[in-house]
Each structure stands twice: as C-alpha cells, then as structure tokens.
Structure 1
Amino acid sequence: MFLAISIGYLIGGIKFRGFALGPVTGSLFAGILIGQFAHVPVSGTAKSFLFLLFLFGIGYSVGPQFLQALKRDGMKPVLLAVIVCVSGLLTAIVVAKILGLDPGFSAGLLSGALTESPAMGTATEAINALPIPEADRARFVAHIAVADAVCYVFGAVGVILFCSAVGPRLLGIDLAAEALKLEQELGISRKAPGVESAWHMFEMRAYRIAEGAPIVGLSLRAAEERSPELRLFVQRIRRNGAILEAEPDLVIEPGDVVAVSGRREVLVNVLEARAEEVEDRQLLDIPVSIADVLVTRPDLGGRSIDDVTKEEWTRSVYLRSISRGGQEIPIAPGIRVERGDILRLVGPESQVSRAAERVGVVVAPTTATDFFVLGLAIFLGGLVGVLVTIPIGDMRISLSTSVGTLLAGLLVGHLRTRFPLFGRIPDAAVSLMTALGLAAFVAMTGLHAGPVFVSAIAEAGIGLLFGGMIVTLVPMIIGLYAGRYLLRMNPILLLGGLAGAQTMTAGMAAVQDRSGSTVAVLGYTPAVPIGHILLTTWGTVIVGIMA
C-alpha cells in the first residue's frame, strides 16, 4: 500500500501542458499496476478506517462554510451545484443502463466521469451490503476501480477544458473582459505584476507637520476623518522630544512628528507630497501583530468590507487576506464577509486584539487534536448512517456509514464557528486525514482490482470510455445554460461554480488563468461543499439503483 502511495504521488505530480492526474488518481493507477504483478491481500477494515477519516476531514473542512452558503447570496452557485450533480447522476444511470453495466462498473463510471473519487468508497460500502454471493461482491468492487481509472482522465481534462475554453465560447463571452467588468463592480483594483494591492500592504512612517499644514489645530479624530477612505491613522506623536500616545482629542501642532499607519500606496502617493518624512526609530517602535481570526459574530455576516471598515473598532487595523472554504478570495470594498471566513488582520497589537474580539476568535496554532470529539463524531455519524434509510421508488437505500461520517464532519466543522474551542483539530492533521486517507483507500482499491483489470476492461469494452465522456459533458452543458438563463449568473461566477460542482480545483484555476483574475473563486467556494456531499452520496444511490 505504501509503495502504491509513493508511486502514486510521483505519477500524480507529473504535469503535461499544465495537467496532472493528482496523487489520488496516481495512487489508483499505481495500485492497479502493482496488482498486475503481485496479489496483495487488502484489509476491508483498514480501507474503511482510512476512508472514514478522509470523509470526516472533508466535512470538517467545509463545515464552517456549508450552512452559510445556503443562506447568503451564494445561493445561485449552490443551486447550480445541485443541478449539475443531479443531472450527472441521472446521466450516469441512463448510460449505465444502455451499456448494461453492473453496479461496480456503474459506480466507477460515475466517480471517474464526475471526478469524485470519494464516491468509490460509498459505492464499495453499498456493494458490500448487497445480498449477493461474496465472489460477486469482490468482482463488483474491483470493477469500481477499473471504471474509475478508465473514465477519470477525460473527466478531469473535460472539466478543465469546458470551464476555461468550451464554456466561454458557448456563452459567447471574452473571459478577460468579463472578469475585469466583475472586478470593477466589486471594487477590485487590478495592479501590475509585482505591485501589492493597497488592501494587502500595511506600513508605518514618521512625518513632520509643517507650519500652516491643513491639519494643524485639528484633533486626531478630526484629522483622520478628513479623508476616511484613505484609512490613515496616527499612532503616536513626538512633541518637544517627548512621545505622546495617540488620543482622539489630542490637537496637532506645528513641528509635531507623527507616526502614521496606512496602506503603502497611500503613504507614498499622498503624504510624501505634503509632509517631510523623518527617521525616528523610537517613535515607530510600536508592537505590530498579525492574527488569523475566525468570523463567528452573526452581526458581521453578509456585510461588505467597505461597511465594516466604518466601525470604530477597525481603527488602525488592516485586512491582509480572507480565506473561505480553504480558498483565498480577492479583497475589495464590495466583497462581503461571511461567518466561517478566516480574516488575517494586521495592525498595532492592542488594536488587533480589540478587533479580534469584535470579529470572532483568534485561530491560534495548536498541535493537540480533540480525539474525544473526533472518535465520537465518526461513531455517531456511522450509526446514523446505518439507521437512516431513504426511500427511492420501491427501494429503501441506507444513508451508509460513509455519508453519515461526512455529515458528522460537517456538523462539527459548523459548530466550530459558534464554539471555536469545540472539536479542535490542527490544519496539518486535517490535511493528513484527507490526503493520506483517500490516497491509501484508493491505492488499496487499485491493488484489489489489479489482478482482474485487463479482463474487466475487455468485459466493459470501449463503450465505457465513451460513456464516461457523455457523463462528464452532459451535466456541464446543462449546468452552463441553466446557470446563465435560469439562474442568471455572472458568467465568471458561473464557470467557477461549474468547477466547484465537479469539485475540480484545477478547473477553477484554468478559468483564473484564462481570465487573468482570481474572481472566479467567488463562484467556486459556495458550490464545492455541495458537490462533495452530493457526488459522494451518489456512490450509494447508483449501486442501489443498478443492483
């Protein structure tokens, strides 16, 4: 297994014209290859253990944004994801029935063509629960890996090309022009390469106030309010050799040396033309803090950055970055802050601490994992998955331990936005759970399928490959036109949402590359958690329907 993972990461890292299989699919191919030469016993318990860890980690990661995505103006990408995922399931069922595929091939067709490897796990669990001979179960499970390997390559390449090239052509749009238009609507200022955005750069400099300067005789509060959009703040004043701490009512006098904080571009372009900059290390020796803060306060959710900066507690505090669902999103006055976002704040230590209290809680690095919550959540999620059944026609399909564990991860992740110290798991641990858990599970699936790979390919025929192409493209086309003409989405957000619905980060990256803008991530982040949940669940559904 470990050899398959090692080789899989090597294969997955090889790029051809910007495309790479990725470590998960690489591990699948490596497992199949090794399985051609040696019979490797695969433990079902080990596979389940690793897969459940992966599912909990995925749910835990997207949980803070999932419920918020259902409430905010990201509802359109959410509906788009539902349309794409449901049409993908229906297309896979129709293709599988036309080709006469067994439950294993059908599940692999779905997981590969829709680029959602976790569906292999839910399908495997569903097959193992079927009342059929053990030999048939083993054969169907092996067929999942075979079909996934056949269909995944076009599935990944197809999504990338559709989102970045085919989709824009069908819509008749210029990606770069549309991205620039959306940036202007949101207030994003595009800068030349190598130049930092004003929203990201914070500096502090000292300036001598000349006789007759416009701010002489004004209080600090009045001076700062002359141009509030510039967000320049006085931190200290040197007067007659003494250093005075900034007080709102302190009056500025000629000859004062003021320590001013602000965006670098503003300091350079505005103040340097009006005041003499001086070197005063002692005056500028102010403790500066950088903190990642999880947004938990409900009164901030849905407010624009421009609106939030008008709050008194934001004085001297600057926003360096916003992370949403693990993706960094662009910063501009019109971008809205949502609960579950992680804001990177920079400014004087005391001001950042005060602002953090009004935003939520500081995400301090931790090395301790709350194994009590981790173990209990997976147990309860799995128990719910066994007990809950969903009626589909004449059948009743179990939710499955896999989907139950995924939902448990979502719940724990969401609860962290309300109770930040609940169920804490370090980012590195979550990354290990998701990366190693899925890669190892898929590698073991490949090892199991290796001995029957050639014969299974011969049994499925070339129709499996072309069927996979249909399953990849049909939901993308339906989603494209539904998103544009039914949901009336902005085309850039639409293309980002299509990539999110297919959980294909590389598709979003291709849109960003072609458009020269990162703004497509605003459509991707609300759609991707929905895609993960539905596509993973479809593994159980398609097995129940095709069995």
Structure 2
Amino acid sequence: MFDWFRILFTPTETPEMTQSLIVLFMAISIGFFAGKLKIGNISLGVSAVMFVGLFLGHLGYGMNAELIQFVREFGLILFVYGIGIQVGPTFFSSFKKEGLVFNALGVGTVFLGGIITYFIHILANIKVENAVGLMSGSVTNTPGLGAAKSTLLEIQKQLNLPLDHFSDPAIAYAITYPIGVFGIIIMIILAKNFLKIDLSNEVVLLHKKNKEAENKIIRQKCRVTKSEVIGKTFKQVFKEFNIEHVIISRQKQSGTKVVYSPSLDSIIKDKDVLMVVAKQQDVDKFVNLVGKISTDLFIESEDDVTTKIISVTKKTATHKTLAQLDLYNQYDVKVTRVIRSGLEILAQPSLELYYGDTLMVVGSRPSIHEAEKIIGNSTKILLEPDFLSLFGGLIFGVIIGSIPIMIPSLPVPLKLGLAAGPLLAALFISRYGGVGVIHSYINNGAIHFMKDFGICLFFAAVGIKAGHGFTDNFVANDGWMLIYYGCFITFVPLILLVLISRFVFKLNFYQMVGIMSGSYTDPAALAFSTKYLDSDIPNQSYATVYPLVTISRILVAQLLILLFAS
C-alpha cells in the first residue's frame, strides 16, 4: 500500500524527477539544521549542506543528470548575483580609501595559491582538474569550482572528448573543503595569540585611524554670534569662506519659536539658531565660522517643519539629480541625507537618485505630502519582488559570462562563466542604480534569501554528485595526500598575508581578519570572526575584497584548466 512512499526514499541508480527533488530537499533541510550545530564558537553554517549531500550520495541517493546540472548552475548564479548587488555600492567607493591595499593583498593571495597549485600538479603528478578542485576546496571558493567544471565541459564539447575524459574536480574539492573552513579559523586564533593582539586597543587605533566620527554624517545645532556672517546670505557665506558639503536644514531667529527650512538666499541674523547637517569635520568648520554650539530645543520642534523618511519608488524621481527635482523651490522641501544600501550620503545637488533610495527630508507636512507624489514612498512596492529587474539582471550577467575571449594558444576561448558574469553584472547595476528598466534595488531580506537559497542549491548538487563512490574516490585519489597538499594552499598564503598585512602595511587586526575571510571567500570564517572578536568591523574589509577576489579565483581556475588540461 505504501510502496510509493518507500520508492520515494529508496536510493536508485536512475532516479525520477520526484525522487531527485526529494533528495535535493533532504540535503538542504538536513544540512541547514546540521549547519546550526556548534562546537564551541564554530559552526559549519550553510556549507554543511554539501557534507550532507556527500553523505546522501555515498548512501546511493542521486538526482536526474539534467536536473542536478541545472540546480548547480542556477544556485551559483543566484548566489554571486546576490553578493554583487549587496556589496556593489561599497565596492567602488572602497578604492578611494584603503581598498587598493586590501584588494592587492587579496588578489596576491589568490595568485600565490594558483602558483602553489601548479607546482602540486607538476611535482605530485596530480591531474590539473583535480588540482584545481583541490585549490577551490582548500580556499572554500565555490565559484572557482563552478568555473572549472564549466570550462571542462566546454573543452569536452569543442574537442569532442568523451564525458569521462576528465576527472570530476568536485571530489578533490569536497575532500579538502573542511581544511579551508577550519584552516582560516585556526589561523585567526593563532594570529591573535602570536601577534599578542589587544582587541580593545585595536578598536581604539582603528577609530583614530579612520576618524569614523568625521566620516559619519551628523547634525549639530549652532548659534550665530560672529559678525563676519551676520547680514549675509548662506550663498554668500558658503562662497566667501569656501564652505562645501554642508546643508542647513533648519533656521530659527532669536526670540521666536518659528522654525523654517532656509534657502541659500536666506539671510543670517544675529543669534539665529541653525541646524547643520554634514560630516563632523565640516560641521566643526562651519560652527567655528558662524558662532558656537547651541542647546536650543525649540529648533527641534516638529510644529512648523518636520523630518520624514521617504523612499524613491516612482520613475519621475529615479535617475534624476536633486537639482533636477528641485524639491525646495517646487515644494519647499529640503533633502538632507540619502541612504543607499545602508550608506548615508549627504544630499548634494548633483546626487543622482536610484530606485529604492531613502531620503531624509525636512519641510512642512503638506509640503512633504506633495513631494511624495513625485518621489513615490510606496513601501508596498518596495516589498513586492520585481522579477523583471532580477531576471533581467541575470540575463545580462549570463551574457557577460558567455562572451568568448580569444587568447592565442588556448584550446578554447576564455569565458568569465556563470559565476563571474552575473557578479560583474550585479556590481555594474548596483553601482549605477540600474540599466534601462532593470534597477538594482532588492530589499535586504530578499538578498539574504537569494544568496542562501542559491548556495544551498549549489552545495546540495555538488555534494550529491561527488558523494557517489566518495569512499572509493577518496582511496583512489589518495585522499589523505590531497588533504596534505591542500594544507599548503590553505596555510602558506594565509601566513604570508598575516605577516605582510601586519608588519608591512600595519593593518588593524580587525581589518586583517576580514581580508583573510574575504580572500578565501569564506562566509563561515567571517561569521566565526565576528563572534570571536565580538565586532562587525571585519565585514567591511571582507566586502571590499570579496568581488575582485571572486573574479580572480574564477580566472585562475579557468586558466589552470585551459593551459594544462590534457
């Protein structure tokens, strides 16, 4: 009577679609549960899905061949696209600060790992596809493995090679993956102890170095007392004293309770109270110029003018500069700050607005209500998924990844593939707010879901496929030796990264930990470090190096396959 139920959960050599889906869902659900289990402060996180997939594959469970390939590629695309959309805005701006050093260290680590992999391939006589799988697993780089497998399939098609001509790099990847996960965690702990890091002192030094208080946009009340500015307009004062990047959101004259949002032509009077919005250093400069800090409370009254947060959801405001919208002259509403992907940006006239941007505005309630008709402010629209933008962006990414790059002497053209292509597309779209009808806004919950869902699909597919005959493959490929070789790829670049970061570039330990995790594209190590160090500071340097490192690892994996695969 229940034979149908037994068949669904019984391993078979030729699984049907329903059985394949059951196996996929089992790998993800059990793996997600296992990933939450902790040993001390360490947990496998979403990477546990791959190990559960390996175990299920080892037990004889499998998936339809076409389905497993689709699941693997689609999962990888979703994961890297989500990463690109998330870190795009900070990725480009980071190069203006320490981003060049961070990325140079990260990319240097990638190429050093590639060189070590090449020597392992030559000296240990390991097939290059296995060496690349070994490299990808030792640095926990999933997109690199995906790119390697895609390149191998392309070579097989172009040269009409049999399907079993190349070994599956996922075997070596699965064997060495734990070394990559735990190796970085071990290095973080050892580096902290070896370098005798005082975490509290590192925080103080980092705050002093970056002058975080100056980089954060703040608001400050001040009272006008200096004769040099009395009787002049804000435009005259800004021009005469070279004041830039300062916004006056409110003005109140002495002896009154009336608060209004001034224009550049408003006149500054003696004992006026002003609300200044700018970065700390610009606020200090302006306050010293016009007078002193004020403790007046009436200027914060919401009776005459109010502050409101509104979101850009209409085409009439998207890709328009604040100067083009001219909200102050049209509606008597002043924009003070724009929040984009968690970043606060001072509302300069030349700033272009993107779909999903959040504006902090000051004005009367009726005026703000009128401005909302142009800007939108529909939270319902922002919560609804925009599949046109999502899948349009994915199409754009797949096209980029499919462009053949002809390089002399290589058997097939080099392609960025289904990992780097969508990543580059997402970075580009996120940087410029969109392309045509495709916009970059995806709410945070959707991004996290897309990333986790994508990587779960990929890990499950890779694990289930690699799990078939895993024990035999471990023995056949001398798994213990692969782990031994993997230790060189994991630890040698990390040790050099720690030494160069600390003693040459004098980087803060929190930043260095983020670079270590980002260089190995290891979210598990990042999650561990933020809890181990009780700080989110490593997230910043992780996001800075992740995109370029991911692209570099994809290219290194492809080049090794194209140059040395036989």
Scaled by the length of structure 1, the TM-score of the pair is: 0.70
Aligned residues of 1:370 and 1:425 also touching (Cα < 8 A): no
In the TM superposition, residue 27 of structure 1 has moved relative to its aligned partner by: 1.8
Q: 1:118 aligns with which of 143, 152, 159?
A: 143
Q: What's 2:34 paired with?
A: 11
For residues 110-148 of structure 1, the C-alpha deviation after alignment (integer angstroms, 9 at most, x for no partner) is 1221011122211222232344432344xx22xx33332
Q: Percent identity?
A: 20
| Equivalent position SS for 1:129 | helix
Secondary structure at 1:283 match in 2: coil
Q: Match of 2:520?
A: 502
Deviation of the 1:482 alpha carbon: 3.4
SS at 2:309's partner residue?
Answer: strand
1:461 aligns with 2:486: no
Given the alignment of the two structures, is residue 33 of structure 1 paired with residue 59 of structure 2, yes or no? no
Q: Which of 400, 405, 409 does residue 381 from structure 1 map onto?
A: 400
Are 2:549 and 1:531 equivalent residues in the alignment? yes
Post-superposition Cα deviations, 1:186-212, rounded to whole Å, max 9, x if no partner, equal: 2236xxxxxxx99688799xx9x9xxx
Specify the SS of the correspondent of 1:134: coil
Provide the secondary structure at the position in 2 that maps to 1:462: helix
What displacement does 1:19 show?
A: 1.9
Cα distance 1:186–1:64, how it changes in 2: closer, same or farther (>3 A)?
closer
Moved more, 102-111 or 342-351: 342-351
* RMSD between superposed Cα atoms in Å: 5.3
> What's the TM-score once normalised by structure 2's chain length?
0.68
Shift of 1:279: 12
Q: What's the CA shift string for 1:484-509, capped at 9, x where partnerless?
A: 45555455433432222122345455
* Alignment pair present for 1:424 and 2:442: no
Name the SS of the counterpart of 1:348 in structure 2. Answer: strand
> What does 1:154-233 align with in structure 2 at a 5 Å threshold?
154-162=179-187, 164-171=188-195, 173-188=197-212
Evaluate the alpha carbon distance shift between residue 424 and residue 369 of structure 1 in structure 2; reply closer, same or farther with a 3 A threshold: farther
Counterpart Cα distance in 2 of 1:280 and 1:522: 34
Cα 1:416–1:182 change in 2 (3 A) is: closer
User: In the alignment, which of 130, 133, 148 is matched to residue 173 of structure 2?
Assistant: 148
Number of the residue aligned with 1:133: 162
Query: Structure 2: 5+ residue runs without aligned partners?
Result: 1-23, 239-243, 284-292, 322-331, 346-350
Task: Give the 3-state SS of the residue equivalent to 1:317 in structure 2.
Answer: strand
Deviations 1:333-367 (A, max 9, x none): xxxx9x99x986645268999xx9xxxx9998363
Structure having greater relative contact order (Cα 8 Å, sep ≥ 6): 1
**Contact 1:390 / 1:399 at 8 angstroms: preserved in 2?**
yes
2:306 partner letter: I
Work out whether 1:413 is the aligned partner of 2:427: yes
Contact residue 397 and residue 426 of structure 2 kept, 8 A: no
Aligned to 1:194: none
Contact 1:368–1:425 under 8 Å retained in 2 = no
| Contact 1:111–1:120, Cα closer than 8 Å, also in 2 | yes
Aligned to 2:120: 95
User: Does the C-alpha gap of structure 1 residues 6 and 59 become closer, same or farther in structure 2, counting only changes over 3 Å?
Assistant: same
| 8 Å Cα contact 2:145/2:557 also seen in 1 | yes
What is the rounded CA distance, in whole Å, between the counterparts of 1:509 and 1:329 in structure 2? 22
- Aligned residue for 1:108, secondary structure, equals helix
Displacement after TM superposition at 1:46 (Å): 4.4
Tell whether the 8 Å contact from 1:289 to 1:346 is kept in structure 2 after alignment: yes
Q: Is the 8 A contact 1:397 1:541 kept in 2?
A: no
Letter in 1 for 2:303: L
* Aligned length, in residue pairs: 485
Structure 1, residues 286-319: CA drift from partner, whole Å, max 9, x if none? 2422558999999xxxxxxxxxxxxxx9988368
- Deviation of 1:230 after TM superposition, in Å, equals 12
Q: Is the 8 A contact 1:167 1:495 kept in 2?
A: no
- Residues 411-463 of structure 1, C-alpha deviations (whole Å, 9 max, x = no match): 45325533546422552555454332332122122222222111111222311
Structure 2 vs 1, CA of residues 33 and 244 (structure 1 numbering), >3 Å: closer, same or farther?
closer
What amino acid does structure 1 have at the position aligned with 2:200?
A
Report the Cα distance in structure 1 between the residues aligned to 2:192 and 2:40, rounded to whole angstroms.
Answer: 20
- Corresponding letter in the other structure for 1:4: A
What is the distance in 1 between the residues matched to 2:245 and 2:462?
57
Give, as a single letter, the amino acid of the residue that structure 2 aligns with 1:18. N
Question: Residue 450 of structure 1: which of 456, 463, 467 is its match?
Answer: 467
In structure 2, give the amino acid aligned to 1:449: A
Alpha-carbon contact 2:250-2:299 (below 8 Å) kept: no
The secondary structure found in structure 2 opposite 1:427 is coil
Kindly provide the amino acid, as one letter, of the partner of residue 551 in structure 2: I
Q: Is the 8 A contact 1:233 1:261 kept in 2?
A: yes
Is 1:288 the counterpart of 2:308? The answer is yes
> Could you report, residue by residue, the CA deviation over 1:249-272 in whole angstroms, capped at 9, with x for unpaired residues?
37578xx9x896889xx9xxxxxx
Partners of 1:414 and 1:350 in 2: CA distance: 37
The match for 2:385 is: 367
**Relative to 1, partners in 2 of residues 1:277 and 1:12: Cα closer, same or farther, differing over 3 Å?**
same
CA separation in 2, counterparts of 1:29 and 1:456?
15
1:481-500 pair list within 5 angstroms: 481-485=499-503, 487=505, 489-500=507-518
CA–CA distance in structure 1, aligned partners of residues 318 and 519 of structure 2: 25
> Residue type matched to 1:36 in 2?
H
1:440 to 444, 454, 457: 457
Q: Retained in 1: the 8 A contact 2:261–2:334?
A: no
Q: 1:221 to 1:383 in 2, by over 3 A?
A: same
Distance of aligned partners of 1:425 and 1:370 in 2 relative to their CA distance in 1, 3 Å threshold: farther
Q: Partner of 2:10 in structure 1?
A: none
